């Protein structure tokens, strides 16, 4: 009898009791500020962005529901497609060059003594610590077509002067190179950390089998680096698609619209060309979809869930 009463009383407070343990109470108190921050500035705006993209709204009058009209509008807007191809050109200049350079730097770091490699990694992080705006400014000055040091140096070795960021054909590539300068060291450090996880014994065994450095790199290093490379590629591609600061400071979308990338298009819709919240958020939702798609493709293509190291052990 007494036992039944006890069971009854615990079950009647069960859901409330689960919430009201001191541990849960303390936990909710601990996460409360972050939940407020997340709901207000992540969850709510993410949902709201989709909502706004279905409306016509200039911030001054009431928003008006227009269905998919904004998406139709941007898809038939030549400037939108141009901004996408510009972004793609940037990504294609940026990612392969940066990744190859970073792998090279990481392999080189791995050959040095601990002291030298530690020192070098510190130096290599310096550009990444700098604001994009600063990096953009210092390269804008170095690459100034008329009085920058780059052309002075080209002259000194007898090569023709370049227009650099002033040339519609070269500008996007130079923006990519500027950002490679900022990110290559950071990326190399990530890859270097990956290199350190590869068991040395694999190299020793393969060199007994007569494999040279290059075969070892192709057969051991690259395959075993795959988990880190997936991380590096996924995060740097996502960042690369959102390039803005460097361009805003250097070419401001020019010359002749050659560096007008997707974020530029979005900002222009809200702040410069007109005040069109609907088309701007629609374009940002499209960008999100593109990033999601590209990420999934990379994960699949690079078989991110599978580790080759398991094959050896």
Partner 1 sequence: MTATGNVREINNPIIRFFSRFTFGDLLVFLILIVLVIAIVFPFWWVLRTALTSPGKVFTDTASLLPVEPTLLNFQRVLGLVDPAELVGMENTNISAGTLNFWIFMRNSFIFSLVITLGQTIFSTLAAYAFARLKFPFRDQIFFFYLTGLMFPGIVLFIPNFVLIRQMGLIGTFPGLIAPFFLMTPFAVFFMRQFFLSLPRDLEEAAILDGASKVGIFWRVAMPLIQGPVLTLAILTFIQSWNEYLWPLLVGRDEEIRVLTVALAIFRQQTPQGAPDWSGLMAGTAIAIVPTILIFFFFGRKVVDSIQFSGFK
Task: Work out how close the CB of 168 gets to partner 1 at its nearest, in angstroms, rounded to a whole number.
Answer: 20
Nearer to partner 1, 6 or 100 (CB): 100
59 near partner 1, judged by CB under 8 A: yes
Chosen residue from 9, 38, 207, 297 binding partner 1 by CB under 8 A: 38
Dihedrals φ, ψ of 145, to 5°?
A: -65, -35
181 near partner 1, judged by CB under 8 A: yes
Burial of 39 from C-beta contacts in 10 A (0-12 / 13-18 / 19+): exposed
- With vertex at residue 25, the alpha carbon angle to CA 22 and CA 31, rounded to the nearest 5 degrees, is 140
Q: How far apart are CA 157 and CA 141, in angstroms?
A: 20
Nearer to partner 1, 30 or 301 (CB): 30
96 near partner 1, judged by CB under 8 A: no
31 near partner 1, judged by CB under 8 A: yes
Q: How far apart are CA 248 and CA 245, in angstroms?
A: 5
- Binding mask 113-152 toward partner 1 (x if CB under 8 A, else -) reads -----x-xxxxxxxx-xxxxxx--xxxxxx-x-xxxx--x
Chosen residue from 27, 100, 205, 275 binding partner 1 by CB under 8 A: 27
Give the number of C-alpha atoms closer than 13 A to the C-alpha of residue 195, restricted to the C-beta side: 21
Nearer to partner 1, 41 or 65 (CB): 41
Joined tokens for residue 217: 């790199």
Nearer to partner 1, 41 or 301 (CB): 41
Task: Work out how close the CB of 3 gets to partner 1 at its nearest, in angstroms, rounded to a whole number.
Answer: 27
Region 207-266 residues binding partner 1, contact defined as CB under 8 A: 228, 231-232, 238, 241-242, 244-245, 248-249, 263, 266
Length of the chain: 313
What residues have CB less than 8 Å from 227, skipping those under 6 apart?
A: 194, 304, 307
Task: Work out how close the CB of 1 gets to partner 1 at its nearest, in angstroms, rounded to a whole number.
Answer: 32
Cα 110 to its chain centre, rounded Å, is 25
Q: Which stretch binds partner 1 (CB under 8 A): 77-85, 88-96, 189-197, 296-304?
A: 189-197
Closest Cα to residue 291, out of 271, 299, 258, 266? Answer: 299
Region 265-304 residues binding partner 1, contact defined as CB under 8 A: 266-267, 270-271, 277, 280-281, 284-285, 287-288, 291-292, 295
Burial of 14 from C-beta contacts in 10 A (0-12 / 13-18 / 19+): exposed
20 near partner 1, judged by CB under 8 A: no
Nearer to partner 1, 93 or 241 (CB): 241
User: Tokens 């849960």 correspond to what residue?
Assistant: 24
Q: In whole angstroms, how large is the CA radius of gyration of the chain? A: 26
Closest Cα to residue 85, out of 232, 238, 246, 257? Answer: 257
199 near partner 1, judged by CB under 8 A: no
81 near partner 1, judged by CB under 8 A: no
Nearer to partner 1, 172 or 282 (CB): 282
Nearer to partner 1, 147 or 208 (CB): 147
What residues have CB less than 8 Å from 304, skipping those under 6 apart?
A: 226, 227, 230, 298
């Amino acid at each position: 009898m007494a036992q039944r009463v006890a069971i009854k009383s615990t079950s009647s407070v069960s859901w409330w009791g689960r919430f009201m343990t001191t541990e849960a109470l303390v936990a909710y108190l601990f996460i409360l500020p972050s939940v407020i921050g997340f709901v207000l500035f992540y969850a709510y705006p993410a949902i709201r962005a989709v909502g706004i993209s279905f409306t016509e709204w200039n911030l001054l009058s009431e928003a008006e529901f227009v269905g998919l009209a904004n998406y139709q509008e941007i898809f038939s807007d030549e400037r939108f497609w141009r901004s996408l191809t510009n972004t793609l050109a940037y990504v294609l200049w940026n990612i392969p060059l940066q990744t190859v350079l970073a792998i090279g730097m990481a392999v080189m770091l791995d050959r040095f003594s601990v002291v030298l490699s530690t020192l070098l990694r510190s130096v290599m992080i310096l550009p990444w610590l700098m604001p994009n705006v600063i990096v953009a400014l210092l390269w804008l000055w170095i690459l100034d077509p008329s009085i920058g040091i780059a052309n002075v140096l080209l002259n000194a070795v007898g090569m023709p002067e370049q227009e650099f960021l002033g040339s519609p054909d070269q500008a996007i590539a130079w923006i990519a190179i500027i950002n490679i300068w900022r990110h290559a060291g950071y990326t190399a450090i990530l890859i270097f950390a990956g290199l350190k996880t590869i068991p040395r014994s694999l190299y020793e065994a393969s060199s007994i089998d007569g494999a040279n450095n290059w075969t070892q790199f192709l057969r051991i290093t690259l395959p075993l680096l795959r988990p880190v490379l997936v991380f590096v590629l996924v995060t740097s591609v996502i960042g690369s698609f959102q390039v803005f600061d460097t361009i805003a400071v250097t070419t401001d979308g020019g010359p002749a619209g050659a560096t007008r990338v997707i974020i530029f298009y979005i900002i222009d819709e809200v702040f410069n060309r007109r005040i069109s919240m609907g088309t701007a958020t629609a374009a940002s939702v499209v960008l999100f979809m593109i990033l999601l798609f590209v990420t999934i493709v990379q994960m699949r293509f690079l078989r991110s869930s599978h580790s080759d190291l398991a094959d050896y052990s």
